[in-house]
Structure 1
Amino acid sequence: MNRPHEEQLSLLPDNTALKQQRLPAYRLQLSASKVLSGFFVTGAFCLGMGIILLLSAKSIKEIEINYTNTCASCAKLRENAVNFDKECSCSIPFYLPEIMQGNVYMYYKLYGFHQNLYHYILSRSNIQLMGRNIKDVEICGSFQRTSNGTPICPCGAIANSMFNDTITLLYNLNSSMYIKVPMLSRGITWWTDKYVKFQNPKSIDLPTAFEGTAKPPFWHKPIYELGKDDPENNGFINEDFIVWMRTAAFPTFKKLYRRLHRIQYFTEGLPAGNYSLNIAYNFPVTRFQGEKSVVLSTLTWSGGSSLFLGLVYTVTGAVTWLASFSMMAIHLMLAKRKMFFPNYKVKL
């Protein structure tokens, strides 16, 4: 049956320039000179940025101290330990040949630890970590509850495997006296993690808030004692915990542990001289044939000491320029041929 004329008209698009495709159009006319200029400018920009980023990364001062074998006796004790509360410490002296000027950051670096496994990444409860329901552990997969059914807080494989070595840096002020280098444990996380993604449950005090939960099996102390001396750095908002919970993409990675507090002898940075690392060894790595290091590094406006971004820009610029010269040679060759053979046509 035919529809009424009015109903047929209602099905038509509106009589507007957009819907009737009457908008003004511009057809880009590309000439050889415009294309070649664009390629040359892009190549120059990429090469320039690459050289700047490489020079910036090369200006960073960094020292790495691997303590896997140095603390081998502690590693053996930790692997075979039945009582995990028993601590083992080791001391590693090292020499800093030149001053590390400006802000200095301390990282721990792990080799061969795969935080990028699919089930490992999912093994956490974001609702629990935001303090909304600390007993919501069903989504964590592994390490949900203890053998008697008590919810684990924080639950999941990521939290259970948290790096828990304690690293202290000492400076040899003179031949007989070492002083502790002041390091800050605050200001090492992303702002969104600290104030949005991680929140403590609302309560009078943290021990009361976490009643009815148990600590992860590999932890030495419960969540509300991670930073009990600093209420703004305790519980779920402890910055060491937050840094660990942001999983790494590769099996070899480093994570920020401390930053230098520039006071007293360290206002300019870390002076050259003799230092010592005192490490309370708790985090085992020999089970997965891994290694551990401490990294001291400065930063620049472009970030850390990685050369990857600079190399990408440099290679991209070089390839773009190579393509530019190739296209220019082909264009000149065809222009020359057309000059001598006006009727010559390129066969495609």
Structure 2
Amino acid sequence: MSSSTAPSSSVAAGSADPSGARRNSKRPKYSRFTQQELPACKPILTPRWVISAFMLVSIVFIPIGVASLFASRDVVEIIDRYDTECIPVDARNDKVKYIQTPGNKTCTRNITVTKQMKRPIYVYYQLDNFYQNHRRYVKSRSDSQLRSNSSANAVSDCKPEDYSNGQVIVPCGLIAWSLFNDTYSFSRSGQQLAVNKRGISWKSDREHKFGKDVFPRNFQNGTLIGGARLNESIPLSEQEDLIVWMRTAALPTFRKLYGKIEEDLQVNDVIQVTLGNNYNTYSFSGKKKLVLSTTSWLGGKNDFLGIAYLTVGGLCFFLAMVFTIVYLVKPRQLGDPSYLSWNRNPGWQ
């Protein structure tokens, strides 16, 4: 008898224990959070609130869109495509052979300024149909090697541009190997226009991603040259053309900053551009363009942001007008049960 009463007393004691009760039940531990009893804001979207919200969005977005469009239209931009024009007429049937043949490939272009351009004037090169976002291309680099000379041998991710003649390549990888090597020089009325190439890269890249003690070594020393060469006496942190190029683009059409002209250009000025047409975009049907551009408070020329703001603001204004007309023509009493489906159609089942 005593043996049977002991278990019953233990069960009774266990039932009084909350943890024991939870073990015998699927009911979760009580809390205001799990039972969704926390204070909450449950706004009722009345017609007036909805119309006011749409009107507020339109009032804010439309002026921003107009200001963005005006800022974009104030940017003066000159684009000159030269990849075909800088090939001699008799060599245009085989452009790849021409670009791969050693020799001087200087080309002269004249650009007419159609609107005053205030300094600084940014010089970009634009490449089309160049997929810098290709997975193998993006992975072919060594960030640790770029940062520190002590990691010069960390080239495991750089194949096939990791070693040349049995020696480590610095900087290694396909990105550095394909460094853009077209050159530009500008003159106006016989006077040279200097191009400032300092400060064209991100400060964070110069200070944290490219080391001051890392110098190019054994670079472009193989049988196949991919692009520009680097000065072996200058550390990578000061070779800003390389730093700009190593920040890969997400789209196949992209621009990269080449330098800045620190002089104003006037209307009808004729800028003579001497190009070194060296970069091979002909093997993959790419295009090369030279871009001169000013900037505004919004940046470069880009109408998308202004159009997007105007579109959203205009749509909200249209919806606000539609809802206002519906509310005035056919108003509904808030919470009227007569609009419930089972009240409108009692025999719906």
Give the TM-score taking structure 2 as reference length. 0.79
| Counterpart residue number, 2:81 | 66
Which residue in the other structure is 1:151 paired with? 168
Q: Measure, in 1, the Cα distance between the counterparts of 2:133 and 2:35.
A: 51
Q: What does residue 175 of structure 1 align with?
A: none
Aligned to 1:134: 152
Question: Which of residues 180, 185, 198 is equivalent to 1:186?
Answer: 198
Structure 2 distance, partners of 1:193, 1:347, is 63
Shift of 1:51: 1.1
The one-letter amino acid paired with 1:109 is Q
The change in CA–CA distance for 1:198 and 1:162 in structure 2 (over 3 A counts) is same
Q: Which structure would you say has the larger Rg?
A: 2
AA of the residue aligned to 1:192? S
The residue aligned with 2:313 is: 317
> Does residue 1:345 correspond to 2:312, yes or no?
no
In structure 2, list runs of 5 or more residues that go unmatched. Answer: 1-9, 23-27, 343-349
Matched-pair contact (CA < 8 Å) for 1:224–1:235: no
1:300 to 1:88, Cα distance in 2 relative to 1, 3 A: same
Question: By how many angstroms is 1:344 displaced?
Answer: 5.0
Matches within 5 A, 1:98-113: 98-113=115-130
Tell me, in whole angstroms, the C-alpha distance in 2 between the residues paired with 1:239 and 1:219: 18
Q: List alignment gaps of at least 5 residues for structure 1.
A: 173-177
Residue 114, structure 1, aligned to residue 131, structure 2: yes
Please give the residue correspondences for 1:69-80 in structure 2 after superposition, counting only pairs within 5 Å: 69-73=84-88, 79-80=97-98
Cα-to-partner distance string for 1:184-233 (whole Å, 9 max, x where unaligned):
1011112211111222336xxx47xx4x77657425775444xx5xx5xx
Q: Which amino acid aligns with 2:225?
A: F
1:343 CA drift (Å): 8.2
The aligned counterpart of 1:242 is 243
Q: Please say if 1:49 is aligned against 2:64.
A: yes
SS in 2 for 1:259: strand
What percent identity do the matched residue pairs reach? 28
Match of 2:225 in 1: 218
Q: Aligned AA for 2:141?
A: R
Contact kept? 1:164, 1:283, Cα under 8 Å:
yes
Aligned to 1:293: 289
Q: Deviations 1:25-81 (Å, cap 9, x if unpaired)?
A: 443243221221111111222221111111110011111121112211398687446
**Structure 2: distance between partners of 1:314 and 1:68:** 37
Counterpart amino acid of 1:256? L
Is the contact made by 2:179 and 2:227 (CA closer than 8 Å) also made in structure 1?
A: no
Q: In the alignment, residue 49 of structure 1 is paired with which amino acid?
A: I
Rounded to whole Å, the distance in 1 between the matches of 2:172 and 2:255 is: 23
User: What does residue 142 of structure 2 align with?
Assistant: 125
Maintained 8 Å contact 2:124/2:259: yes
**Contact 1:153 / 1:215 at 8 angstroms: preserved in 2?**
no
Partner SS for 1:52: helix
Deviations 1:295-345 (A, max 9, x none): 11100010111111111111111222222223223333431x769xx9852
Give the whole-Å Cα distance in 2 for the aligned partners of 1:221 and 1:254: 17
**Shift in alpha-carbon separation, 1:307–1:241, aligned structure 2, 3 A:** same
Paired residues, number: 320
3-state SS in 2 of match to 1:100: coil
Distance 1:220 1:329 in 2: 65
Distance change >3 Å, CA 41–CA 81, structure 1 → 2:
closer
2:125 touches 2:291 (CA, 8 Å); kept in 1? yes
Give me the TM-score of the superposition, normalised by structure 1. 0.79
Q: Which amino acid aligns with 1:133?
A: S
- Seen in structure 2, the aligned counterparts of structure 1 residues 276 and 334 have a Cα distance that, compared at 3 Å, is same
Task: Give the CA deviation at 1:97.
Answer: 3.2
Structure 1 position 17, deviation (Å)? 7.9
- Note the 1:156-175 alignment, pairs <5 A: 156-172=173-189
Letter in 2 for 1:88: K
Change (3 A) 1:55 1:20: same
- Asked if 1 retains the 8 angstrom alpha-carbon contact of 2:65 and 2:309, the reply is yes
Q: Distance in 1 between matches of 2:59 and 2:228?
A: 56
Distance between the aligned counterparts of 2:159 and 2:322, measured in 1? 56
Alpha-carbon distance between aligned partners in 2 of 1:311 and 1:238, rounded to the nearest angstrom: 38
Instruction: Say what the alpha-carbon RMSD is for the aligned residues.
Output: 3.4
